[in-house]
Amino acid sequence: MLRTGLVALSMMALASGAQAEAGRIEERTLPYAPLPADLKAVDEVIKAPLSDDFVARTYTAPDGRTVPYRLLAPATVAAQPMAAKLPLVVVLHGSGTIGQDNAGQMTGFAKAWALPDLRRRFPAYVVVPQVDARSADYAPGGDGLLASRPGASLSAVLALVDDLAGRLPVDPARIYVVGFSMGASAALDALVAKPGRFAAAVAFSSVPPDRAQAAGVATVPTLQVHGDQDTENPYAPDHAWAEAVAAAGGAPVFVRYQGMEHRVPPDMILAPGWREWLFAQRLTPAVPPRP
């Protein structure tokens, strides 16, 4: 059993958008102490062949940029083609897998969604685009801390999301964006760039947008996870974003891993707890999505 993630994150189901207290951060602090079983289970996912269920496709955005992507359909679709509309989960990769081979982005973090238990418990369309240029760029923000802004490829990824939402039986109130590192930064940038599109975001080790932009997305539930020993994407700006969201009336969830460097915690890659939190969120749009 993945001890740390399951024990702590099962509690996060209590922090759904409807239940969390507006104006404060729902904080969790966990020691970074993965069990050998955690590491072994994740290593098996990383080394496993890419599931044929992640179908390779390509999208050409209005700006002409080509976006290779993998699409996982819910297992229920084959048996029930006319099933009710389901969530769309957008998984954004880090800078280490920028390219166009439509394979590098399929890390263990992405591949885990195809595991039978997770696929059964969280039926959804899961899209994993690969970008050929950065999806988020970094520079100091107004408070002097590092901040992100949309990279050259993010608009094409957002156009892909719109395309899939228009073609697939997707619930428009349950479109989620998750990511690691650059992908986590882009996930938070996407909330700012596309108000009213995403029901929630989960960001692992992100550089968030300038804190001055937090008020515009404070109503969107966010779960941020960061190691306090991360020297690649510093911890401080990420927590400052959560503080700014809370100050604007939001209710962010923030998980700090003590002693962890720049990575997705192994106990969370396979854990259902944060996915339970994610799937509990629903969009109540105050602003219609931009065309």
Q: Report residue 266 CA to chain centroid gap.
A: 16
Cβ atoms of 174 and 87 closer than 8 Å: yes
* Residue 256, pLDDT score: 97
* Residue 265, pLDDT score: 95
What are residue 8's phi and psi, to 5 degrees?
-75, -40
Of 77, 68, 70, residue with least CA distance to 113 = 70
* Residue 286, pLDDT score: 52
**pTM for the structure as a whole:** 0.91
pLDDT of 192-251, one tens digit each? 999 999 999 999 999 999 999 999 999 999 999 999 999 999 999 999 999 999 999 999
Which domains are assigned to the chain?
Answer: 26-73+83-280 (3.40.50.1820)
* Residue 38, pLDDT score: 84
* Residue 84, pLDDT score: 75
pLDDT of 79-122, one tens digit each? 444 557 999 999 999 999 999 999 999 999 999 999 999 999 99
**8 pLDDT higher than 50:** no
